Amino acid sequence: MRVLVLNHIFGEFTGSEIYALQLCAALREAGHEADIGTFEPRGPLLERARDLGIRVHDVLNDEGPALDYDVLWAHHAPVLTHVIFRRTLVPCRVIFSSLSPLTAMACPPTYFEDLDRVLAHSPYNVDYLRKLGVLEERLHLFPNFAPKAFFAKQRAAPHGGLKRIAVVSNHRTEEVQAMAVCARQDGVQVDFIGGDHPVFVDETVLIDYDLVISIGKTVPYAFAQRVPVYCYDHFGGPGYLNADNFEAARYGNFCGRSFYRKLTAVELYADIKAGYASVTPATLDFLHEKARTLFSLEINLGRVCAELAVLQPTDLDALRRRHIVAGRLNDVYMGCLRNRIHFERLLKARGSKPRWRSRLARWGKCLGLKS
């Protein structure tokens, strides 16, 4: 199959962008052709994509020939709507994969009943999409995953206690930053990954740490490599993951939100330090096995591809006729997006020049943007 993965932005070290790259890499390794379509191609992941042979289409500005793919796999509704209504396509199947039940961009398009499959990244998201009206037979769980490289590279048996902590987050909280100060004063090394310290987290990054503090996408990586996980971030979290809280944490994609547990920096470090001994080899084995059965990218992807292989292409002409308003409303969004991108380019090119500064400030205010 030829698959085009659609992401609003592609190139930075954020969840959906890394997700798209890993998805394409796994599809290609399985013998399929897989590329990426995006409105904003920018950042270091572009080079990684090129190295893997993955083409990145600028679907906002490139009005080239028909997009010749058997499957559209979309993470963000505006990109999918633009491609369906304003680009030329060959007959294809259409998947929408929701990576969040909360952000508007990750909500399925209004024409979800005409899509072949709607995927959700957590059991909570499955329930949420079911309440929105997505039909049961088209709704499937496709969780955050760990590629097989993470399972192949295991952390050595722990020894010497808690010496090195990795905090993986793009939204660092005050209490976690202050916790790091407490830990360092106690002789524990704490490294921050993400945000101001962008790192592509592959199978080599986490394996030498004694503990990972993170939520969401990073958690299956740590499970796969038998690295202990303390689930905590800007929503708070349950702390150490184990057999007792695994299902409750998994239900919400290990985001920590549903536990309603926020700690001060001192409380956080005390809890981390006191609870580390509870992470036994049996706990790590349990979490590793759960990752292998539930979060393997290759296994979950194989199931979806097997289903797609027997489906007939979506009737795109009928979809466009039934949902013409969706296409027109998306055009309004596209106009705002083009204005924002144009403004950012002007700001970068001319924002330091005095005669442009006040003009750009006025334009930015009209657009609701910071100048």
- Strand 229-233 relative to strand 236-240, pairing: antiparallel
Cα of first residue to Cα of last residue in the chain, in angstroms, is: 44
Classify domain 2-145+297-322 by CATH architecture. 3-Layer(aba) Sandwich (3.40)
Could you check whether 2-145+297-322 and 148-294 share the same CATH topology? yes
Low-confidence residues in the chain, pLDDT < 50: 371
- How far from 123 is each of 35, 226, 265, CA to CA, in Å? 28, 23, 31
pLDDT at position 172? 83
- For position 49, what pLDDT does the model report? 98
DSSP 8-state assignment for residue 257: G
Q: What is the C-alpha separation between 264 and 220, in angstroms, rounded?
A: 26
Angle between helices 77-86 and 324-350 (to 10 degrees): 110
Q: pLDDT digit string (tens) for 274-296? A: 999 999 999 999 999 999 999 99
User: What pLDDT shows up at residue 259?
Assistant: 82
Q: Say what the pLDDT of residue 160 is.
A: 79
Partners of residue 67 on adjacent β-strands: 89
Give me the residues paired with residue 236 across strands: 233
The CA–CA distances, whole Å, from 132 to 98, 101, 127, 136, 140 equal: 13, 11, 9, 11, 14
**Distances in whole angstroms, Cα of residue 239 to Cα of each of 49, 159, 213, 338, 341:** 35, 21, 9, 42, 40
> Residue 368 is encoded by which pair of tokens?
């609701």
pTM surpassing 0.75? yes
Residue ranges of alpha helices (H) inside 43-162 are 45-51, 77-86, 123-132, 148-152
Query: What is the reported pLDDT for 130?
Result: 96
Cα gap 17→24, rounded to integer Å = 11
Can you give the residue ranges of every domain in the chain?
2-145+297-322, 148-294, 331-365
Edge-to-edge strand list for the sheet holding 117-120: 56-58, 33-41, 2-10, 71-74, 93-98, 117-120, 139-141
Nearest-5° Cα angle at 182, 181 to 183: 90
Identify the architecture of domain 148-294 in CATH.
3-Layer(aba) Sandwich (3.40)
From 219, 221, 261, 264, select the one nearest 242 (Cα to Cα): 219
Tokens of 177: 């930053």
CA atoms of 17 and 254, how far apart (whole Å): 19
Residue with tokens 């547990």: 261
Q: How far apart are alpha carbons 258 and 21 in whole angstroms?
A: 29
CA dist., res. 150 & res. 134, Å (int): 33
Residue 371's pLDDT is what?
45
Considering Cα of 263, then 265, then 269, then 270, what sign does the dihedral take? negative
Q: Which amino acid is at 314?
A: T
Taking alpha carbons only, the member of 210, 227, 218, 219 closest to residue 164 is 210
